Every structure is written in C-alpha cells, then in structure tokens.
Chain A
Amino acid sequence: MGSYELSLVTLAAIYAMLALSLNLITGFCGQISLGHAAFFGAGAYAAALLSKSGGPFVAALGAGMLVAALFGLVVGLASLRVRHDFLAITTMGVGFLFLGFVRKQKALGAELGISGIPDHGLGAWGLALLAVALTVATAILSLHIRRAWAGRAFAAIADDEDTARTMGIDVVRYKLVAFVMGTAIAGLAGGVFAHFTRFIIPDAFGFTVSISILAMVIVGGIGSTWGVLVGAVMLTLLPELFRFINDYKLLIYGSLLLLVMRFAPGGLAGALAPLFRRAGTAAGGAR
C-alpha cells in the first residue's frame, strides 16, 4: 500500500468515526444536529494546540476529546430547551458561531489556522492503523449500545420523548450522555485529523463538513451502524478514487441528501434491510 492509499484509509476512518459519532446523537437518540463539524474542529484545535506546546500525542488526543465533550455537554443542555427542527437550527447556529469565533482568534491562527503541528511519531502506517482501530472501537460501541438496554432507552427517546418519560426513562440524562459520547468521539477524530494533516484551517470544520457528515449518516441509513459505516467510507472514497467525481462532490452529496430524504428515508440500510432481514435482527435496521 502506497502513501496515497494509506492516507485514503486514514481519511475514510476519520470520517467513519465522525459519521458513527453523529449517528449516536441523531440516529440512536433522535437529536438532529447540523453542527457536528464544530466538535470535530474543537477537538482538532485543542489537540493541535496541546501538541504544539510540547504535549505527547496521546495527551493531545485526550485533550481533543475532552474539549469537544465539554462543548458537546453545553450543546446537549441546549437540546433540552428546543426540539426537532429548532434543535437543528440551534446546532447549525452553534456550528456557524464556532467558525465565526475561530476565524477571529489570533491565538488560533485566525483565517490562516494552525500549521506545523508536530509529528505524531507513528508513521503513516501507524496512524492509519490507529484511525482504523478507533473506528472499529466506535462501531463496536455503537453495535453494543444498540443491543443493550441503553439502546432501547435511546430508541424510546428518539420515538417520543414524552412517552419515554412516562416509561421512567431519564430523558435529560440520556440526551446529555448521547451528546457527550458523540461529541467526544468527534473530538477524538479531530485530534487524529489535526495530526494527520498537520495543518488545520477553520474552513475544514465549516457547515459544508457538518452536512457531509450528516449525508454519510443519512445515505447509510440513520440509526444503522453498518449502514453508516458503509455510507461514510463510500462517500469519502468515491470522490477520491474517481477523480472526475471530485469536482462534483458537493453536487453528489446534495443530490443524495435530496433523493434519500424524498424517496428512501431509511437510506441504504433501509433499502437493503428487507434483503438481509433475519428473524429477530430487524431492530438493527433503519427506523
């Protein structure tokens, strides 16, 4: 595998982590978020700063997770105040605010971003393996949650949060946990990304990126771990593998969002579920 292929693997793994982490919030817990790239960015900036000030790589990743999770906790608290499309607008607003703030901070390099992020010391192979391992771990966590009682509680909240309350489910706590988990993983992906490119600019975490992550979740099948994994890898790699697609990347993402929502809201997983449905495993499919 050449360095180009390795970088593709790393990039696909980073986006798969992002999509899976958004799926925890939006797919499992039903809290729509249009600002996921902000948490990715918060993690990337925190990790980059810690690394540049001489911290070890692992600590930088930890810092990325922590900062993103704290930020996620705050937005999670906001999700307790607003629902549905209002939450969508709020999270979108948070994304724009994050970008508008970062762009003006000299300490964060403003428009020019942060360059010269130190080498992670793992080599290209090492970093690719790390990214893949983290993605696999996120996928395993997702699959486990879906089957555990926590998954049932999330599903109840996503379905109808008032009813979930009358079933004794602590909606506040579950929502906050979903936001903290999802954003922490996005922050971790940000830390990996910062050390992968070793150069970050605000635009790498803009609204377009939030929408791309959402497109991966929706195309794969909202709520389905396997579907989202496939959706993320497909949407990351296709434009890279077929160069001619690259110029139409956004056009494709936009069309997919449009067509999936209009014709197949269950995404890939929803469309394929009837083919793969076995007794007792239908719950893992699209909702």
Chain B
Amino acid sequence: MSLLEIDAVTVRFGGILALEQVSFALEAGELLGLIGPNGAGKTTMLRAITGVVAPTVGRIRLDGRDITGLSTDRRVRLGLALTHQIVRPLRAMTALDNVVCAAGHAKTASFLRALATRHSLAEERRAREFLALVGIAEFADAMPSAMPLGALKRLEVARALALSPRVLLLDEPLAGLNHVEAARLADTIVGLNRSGLSIVLIEHNLGEVLRICQRLVVLDNGSRIAAGDPQTVIADATVRAAYLGQEAGHAAA
C-alpha cells in the first residue's frame, strides 16, 4: 500500500477544470518530484492534498486512510506536513518558538491537554535540533522580521519537521533563493529523505529536481501527462512539448 495515494482527483472551479482525473502515489521513503509548467495545476493539487480545496471527484488517502473530507489541521495531525511557497512564519514569535509550537503538536491537539500542560523543555530541545538540522541554529532567538529569506525558507522546513510527519509536502522551497542557497537547501532535502522521510517536492527549479528526485510526476493543463524516473520523463516527447510550448508562448509574448 502506498503512503500517500491520489486517486483520480478532479477539481472544478465554476466552469474551469483545474485538475482532471489525476492519480499518483507516494511510496514510503520516496522523494517524489511534482512538476509542470505554470498553470499546470500543481498548486491546486497541493491544495487538494492539504485540504484547502475540496476535490469535485476523487479520493486522497494517507496510509490507506481516506482523508478527502478532513480539515487541514486534522490532516496535519495524521502526519501530513507542508511548507509554504511564500513563507508564513508566525511573526510575533522567535524562530525557535515557531518550531516549538509545532513540536508541541501532540499537546495542542487537545484543548484540555494544552490547558493542563506547561512544561516545554523537551519541545525546546527538539526544536533546537530541527533548527540545527536545517542549518539555521544561529537564528533561534531571532524574530522572523529580522531573518533573510533563505533562513525563513529553512524555518518553514524545520517547522514542518517538528510535526513529526510521515509525509512532507514541500511547495517550491527553492523559489527565490540564489543558485548556491538553492543547491544547499536541495542537499538538506536529500539528507532528510535519506533519513527515512517520504517527501513530495513541488518545484520549478528543474535542474535541482532532476538532480535529487527519484521519481517525477508531470502535470500539464490539469492532467497527468507523464510519470516515472527523471531521465525517462524528461526525454518524453509530451513533456518536452508541454515545457517548450510554454517557452514558445513566452517568446511570442
């Protein structure tokens, strides 16, 4: 059984078909790249997985359990963690407290437990470990407003890791980073995957995707047009046409 299963998901906004019958699965331990040109439906797919948009048809299963109708926070508590493409730190807290708050997910899951529990030393220790793991230990006591974008991108990852997820969804973690920073964060992602974490990576930076992902799923115009190992997928004529078509479109505009 796959860890995360997307089963024939269709999303329709009014008359517009944003996703049509898309299926794919993430196997345990895998680093899967979800790619496609602009407007292909990647963001809509991500939102369907996290529960921000409801599929018109189709099911989404996490570890065999149907999570299609559940709220975002419920899905997160079941082991789905995500990072935001546009960073969303809690701005009134330090970087450390951002991660501590996520690390206490078992305590905040029930209000009564959250009301009865005060000690947070274990969570603080774990939070520091996650900050160190993604390489921003020196920003622990910084407020997000004082952190550079690269560090905030890593804070997103640290916070997601603190949720002890079974599946990590990364939404364009490399976007906005320079070449060096992007390669370093990509290496961090590989490291996380090697330590056993299953990851879906949505990313525009094809170079890094091809370098680090074990398998790719390609969306175009709301449909899945290819899936498989990176070399085969990127050689696929349909995929090339989809990307080139867009390039041609850009050139024309």
> Assuming A150-B114, A160-B88, A177-B111, is B71 touching A167 (CB within 8 A)?
no
**A191 → chain B closest CB, angstroms:** 24
Q: What sequence of 0s and 1s flags, for each residue 96-118 of chain B, a beta carbon within 8 Å of any chain A beta carbon?
A: 01001110110111010111111
- Docked complex Cα distance between A155 and B163 (Å): 18
Which chain A residue has the least Cβ–Cβ distance from B111?
A177
- Docked complex Cα distance between A196 and B63 (Å): 60
In the bound complex, do residue A165 and residue B71 qualify as a contact, i.e. CB atoms below 8 Å apart? yes
In the bound complex, do residue B92 and residue A155 qualify as a contact, i.e. CB atoms below 8 Å apart? yes
Decide if B76 is an interface residue (CB 8 Å cutoff). Answer: yes
In the bound complex, do residue B91 and residue A149 qualify as a contact, i.e. CB atoms below 8 Å apart? no
- Docked complex Cα distance between A171 and B104 (Å): 15
- Docked complex Cα distance between A158 and B101 (Å): 13
Which residue from B74, B91, B114, B120 sits with its C-beta under 8 Å from A153?
Answer: B114
> Assuming A168-B77, A168-B163, is B108 touching A153 (CB within 8 A)?
yes
In the bound complex, do residue A165 and residue B76 qualify as a contact, i.e. CB atoms below 8 Å apart? yes
Decide if B187 is an interface residue (CB 8 Å cutoff). Answer: no
In the bound complex, do residue A152 and residue B101 qualify as a contact, i.e. CB atoms below 8 Å apart? yes
Q: What sequence of 0s and 1s flags, for each residue 151-179 of chain A, a beta carbon within 8 Å of any chain B beta carbon?
A: 01101101110111111111111100100
In the bound complex, do residue A171 and residue B115 qualify as a contact, i.e. CB atoms below 8 Å apart? no
In the bound complex, do residue B118 and residue A163 qualify as a contact, i.e. CB atoms below 8 Å apart? no
Which chain A residue has the least Cβ–Cβ distance from B120?
A149
- Residue from B50, B104, B114, B120 with most neighbouring chain A CB atoms (10 Å): B114
* A-side contacts of B72, CB under 8 Å: 165-166
Taking beta carbons and an 8 Å cutoff, which residues of B are in contact with A? 50, 71-74, 76-77, 81-82, 84, 88-93, 97, 100-102, 104-105, 107-109, 111, 113-118, 120, 159, 163
- Docked complex Cα distance between A283 and B88 (Å): 20
* A-side contacts of B102, CB under 8 Å: 167-168
In the bound complex, do residue A149 and residue B90 qualify as a contact, i.e. CB atoms below 8 Å apart? no
> Assuming A149-B104, A166-B72, is B91 touching A159 (CB within 8 A)?
yes
Knowing that A148-B115, A149-B113, A158-B92 are A-B contacts, what are 14 other residue pairs whose CB atoms are under 8 Å apart, sorted by A's residue number?
Answer: A144-B118, A150-B108, A150-B111, A152-B114, A153-B114, A160-B88, A163-B88, A164-B90, A165-B71, A166-B88, A167-B159, A168-B77, A177-B111, A287-B92
User: Which 7 pairs, one residue from A and one from B, show the smallest C-beta to C-beta distance?
Assistant: A168-B76, A149-B114, A150-B114, A159-B90, A168-B105, A149-B107, A153-B108
> Assuming A149-B118, A150-B115, is B73 touching A163 (CB within 8 A)?
no
In the bound complex, do residue A152 and residue B50 qualify as a contact, i.e. CB atoms below 8 Å apart? no
> Assuming A148-B115, A148-B118, A166-B82, is B73 touching A171 (CB within 8 A)?
yes
**B162 → chain A closest CB, angstroms:** 9
> Assuming A160-B88, A167-B105, is B73 touching A149 (CB within 8 A)?
no
* A-side contacts of B81, CB under 8 Å: 166
Decide if A147 is an interface residue (CB 8 Å cutoff). Answer: yes
In the bound complex, do residue A170 and residue B92 qualify as a contact, i.e. CB atoms below 8 Å apart? no
* A-side contacts of B73, CB under 8 Å: 164-171
In the bound complex, do residue A160 and residue B91 qualify as a contact, i.e. CB atoms below 8 Å apart? yes
Taking beta carbons and an 8 Å cutoff, which residues of A are in contact with B? 144-145, 147-150, 152-153, 155-156, 158-160, 162-174, 177, 283, 287
* B-side contacts of A172, CB under 8 Å: 71
- Docked complex Cα distance between A91 and B107 (Å): 31
* A-side contacts of B92, CB under 8 Å: 155, 158-159, 287
**B202 → chain A closest CB, angstroms:** 15
**B104 → chain A closest CB, angstroms:** 5
**B216 → chain A closest CB, angstroms:** 25
Which chain A residue has the least Cβ–Cβ distance from B77?
A168
In the bound complex, do residue A170 and residue B101 qualify as a contact, i.e. CB atoms below 8 Å apart? no
- Docked complex Cα distance between A173 and B93 (Å): 22
* A-side contacts of B159, CB under 8 Å: 167
In the bound complex, do residue B88 and residue A145 qualify as a contact, i.e. CB atoms below 8 Å apart? no
- Docked complex Cα distance between A167 and B90 (Å): 11
- Docked complex Cα distance between A158 and B91 (Å): 10
17 A–B contacts from the bound complex (CB under 8 Å): A147-B118, A148-B116, A149-B108, A150-B111, A150-B114, A152-B100, A152-B108, A153-B101, A153-B111, A156-B90, A158-B92, A167-B105, A168-B76, A168-B108, A169-B73, A169-B105, A169-B108
**A143 → chain B closest CB, angstroms:** 11
* A-side contacts of B105, CB under 8 Å: 167-169
**A163 → chain B closest CB, angstroms:** 5
- Docked complex Cα distance between A165 and B70 (Å): 12
- Docked complex Cα distance between A177 and B108 (Å): 13
In the bound complex, do residue B101 and residue A145 qualify as a contact, i.e. CB atoms below 8 Å apart? no
* B-side contacts of A163, CB under 8 Å: 84, 88-90
- Docked complex Cα distance between A143 and B49 (Å): 38
